[in-house]
Amino acid sequence: MLPSGTAKIGATEYVLATNGSPGTIAGLNNIPVMTRNGATTYLSEVAHVRDGFSPQTNVVRQNGERGVLVSVIKNGGSSTLDIQADASVKSAQDAFDIATARYRGGVDTYLEMITAQQVLLSNQRQAVQIQGQQFATAVVLGKGSRRRLEPELGPAFAPRLNGRDLGA
């Protein structure tokens, strides 16, 4: 718990470890943070260490009953599946490029190059399938949203694509 690290003396680097961890949570408050001009500042002077949770600042209710709120925040323009699929395709593309160069250089056989190409095509196909599933899910969710909102907003809300009603 206390600072440790390494010390280099000559050509040798030594690992420094301390055996001064406090025995209690309250003891953490007595850890020195810094010493300046002979005055020691302790953790309790800049913070308070305790075993507990932060105070509750909000309550979630649904239909008058307490509930749980799970916030989901989309970060960036890609999903985790997209990132994984792209990384998989890129890795297979790199392997195929290497296998092709090795085949042209006479190091690998034609079969090894074709095998690398097969893996690349399989990964590309899987990436397209993931995108198709995401699109289908988005359409289903859109249809479900329309059915819940249409009584309130009226039929003018009906989403359309190229003149076709997507909710039908």
Q: What is the pLDDT of residues 39-84, one digit of tens each?
A: 998 888 888 787 777 777 888 888 888 887 766 666 666 677 777 7
131 shares a domain with 81? yes
The residue that leads in pLDDT, 106 or 81, is 106
130 shares a domain with 84? yes
Q: Which two tokens stand for residue 74?
A: 């989309």
Is there a contact between 128 and 104 (Cβ–Cβ < 8 Å)?
no
pTM for the predicted model, two decimal places = 0.41
Domain annotation covers residue 71: no
For residue 161, the enclosing domain spans 76-165
DSSP state of 115: H
Domain annotation covers residue 67: no
Beta bridge partners of 62: 65
101 shares a domain with 40? no
Q: What is the pLDDT of residues 79-97, one digit of tens each?
A: 777 777 888 888 899 999 9
Q: For residue 56, what pLDDT is reported? A: 76
- Cβ atoms < 10 Å from Cβ of 110: 9
Domain annotation covers residue 69: no
95 shares a domain with 156? yes
The residue that leads in pLDDT, 157 or 105, is 105
